[in-house]
Each structure stands twice: as C-alpha cells, then as structure tokens.
Amino acid sequence: MSVLVHAMLVQALAGNAVIAKTPTDGGVACLTLACALAAREGIPVTLVSGSGSELSEALVRAPEIGCVSFVGGRDTGAAVATAVADLGKRHVLEQEGLNTWGIWNHTDWDALTAVVPKPFDYGKQRCTAYPRFVVQRALFDDFLAAYLPAVRTLRVGHPLAVEHPDDPFPRLDLGPVINAAKAKELTDQVTEAVDRGAVPLYRGRPADARFLPGQDTSAYVQPVTLLNPPPSSPLHHAEPFGPVDTIVLVDTEAELLAAMNASNGALVATLSTDDRATYERHGELLVKAVTQGPPGERLPGNFPEYRLRP
C-alpha cells in the first residue's frame, strides 16, 4: 500500500487528480480505506480495481491521463514503457531488480548485526528490500558471525496468536507472503537452488512460528539464507520478493561491482566499507550521477542508449 499511496499523494500535492489501480493480489481493503480518507478531505483521488490485462492498456493510453506511474515487473513494465514512448506521454517506471548489499574492507560488525533484521520488514516484499549480500571472501567468517545471530532472532506468525485471552500479543518480525502460490514458488526455488549446489546457511523452523489453532499456513515462508545460488537459479539474478537471502563471495573490486549488478540494475544498493579511498571514489560516482558535467560526458550507468560501468 505504501508505495502506491505515496505515488498518489505526490501527484495530488503537485496539483493533479489521480487515478490508481489496485494490485492484482492483495491490498484492496487498505487501499480503499486510504483513498476514502483522502477523498473525504477533498483530495482528488480515484481507485479502480480489476485485472491488469483489462485495465492497464485503457489507463496507459487514455488521452485524459497526462502521466503514468508504474511499479512492478520488467515484462509488464516494458509493455508500459513501449506504450508511453509511442504516445510521448510522461511516465515514471519503477521495475524490479536485485537489490544488493556489498561488504568490502568492513569492520563495524555490531552495526551490521543491528540492521540485518530490518530488511525483513513486510517479509522482504517491498522494492527496497535487500535479498543479496555480496561479501569479500576474506571477511566471510566475520560476516557470518554478525549475520547469523541476527537472522536467528526473526519470528514468524499470526499477530493474534496467544494461548490465553489475557496474554500479550507475540512480538513478530514477519507474517505471510502475498499468497500461497508465491510461498510455493519461493519454496520450490530454494529447493531447486540447493539441489543445484547452493549451500543452505540458515533455515527458520516452522515449529518456532506462532499460529492460531487450525490456521491456514500455506502462505507462510520461514526465512532462508543460501550461499552461492547457481547461475541457473532465479535466485541468482532476480528479486525473490520474499524472506530468502542469498550470499555471493568475491575477491576483487571488479568482482564486487559485477556481483552487485547481477540483475543489470536495481532500485537501491548499499556498500559497507571502512576504506576511505573506496568511499570517496563511490561518493564521486554518486554525485556525478545526479549532476551535469561537461557536454557529451558519458556517465556510468544503464541507459537506453548505452551501458557504462565505472
């Protein structure tokens, strides 16, 4: 909900009326409530529901709509991009990518331990989650000593699962994924990756979860961490959109850069390092990415016309 409502309110603040489509799976109830509250205050928002195949083309191509904002997969995003390019329509496209967290010449392991559970918010079902850690091989033992205790604290279950009515509600970190089909997809991907050589470093235990008696648990996935998923696995190059972490080891900065760009672009990335020279060099690249340089300068990055790595 947060991504869609944020996009709607940004447009409303800019003075535009907004039409939004609910996701195909989930979110209808909370989005309806959010839009009703906004409309009650006079904010010009409209919410429509239905399948993407029925509504997307009509919304994208409608001449009354001056700008299209899309968040989703690359296949659908490519179709939207083609349509808006043909129409010359303004657009904002946020498409999936494998967000990566690099560890290079790093020593502040207590800070890493403290932050590891946070990306599991919403079961890692958000665009800014980090499902991939790219770790300097020489630091792998220190990384595991910081990572594993943190991931072992994660608790899964139903927020109302108590033994007695007066008991306090359980403290949980994540609930179900979007539906049972997604849970099966993730489970199958993990099984296939392990069969092809990935090393399971951690698996949450279903016995530790908190559920109501007789509750349907088919949409729940316990946190899993795999080392070196094979290149043939979707977990190697695609965003899992669930509580599945993968770790890749590297020896050089060139390998680090290549591994952090496994999906050829992503929404966010983080590099943890104590190396001042590395910090300043990457900071310079980030500044250049959002400022204007000499005429004709080719900036590092992925663009429709070219791809340039630093």
For residue 86, the tally of other CB atoms under 10 A from its CB is 9
For residue 72, the tally of other CB atoms under 10 A from its CB is 17
Q: How is residue 157 annotated by DSSP?
A: B
pLDDT for the residue numbered 289 = 62
* CA 305, chain centre distance (Å): 26
Average pLDDT value for residue range 263-285: 83
Give the span between the Cα atoms of 244 and 253, in whole angstroms: 25
Give the global pTM: 0.83
Query: pLDDT tens digit string along 141-197?
Result: 999 999 999 999 999 999 999 989 999 999 999 999 999 999 999 999 999 999 999
Q: Which CATH superfamily is domain 2-95 in?
A: Aldehyde Dehydrogenase; Chain A, domain 1 (3.40.605.10)
> Any residues with CB less than 8 A from the CB of 116 and at least 6 apart, and which?
146, 147, 150, 151
Tell me the residue type at 230.
P
Q: Which CATH superfamily is domain 100-274 in?
A: Aldehyde Dehydrogenase; Chain A, domain 2 (3.40.309.10)
Query: pLDDT tens digit string along 57-68?
Result: 888 888 888 888
Domain ranges of the chain: 2-95, 100-274
The per-residue b/e assignment along 145-168, b for 16 or more CB within 10 angstroms, e otherwise, is: ebbeebbeebebbbeebeeeeeee
35 is written with which tokens?
Answer: 């839009």
Query: pLDDT tens digit string along 291-309?
Result: 667 788 887 776 777 877 7
pLDDT tier for residue 53 given thresholds of 50, 70 and 90: confident
Higher pLDDT, 208 or 74: 208
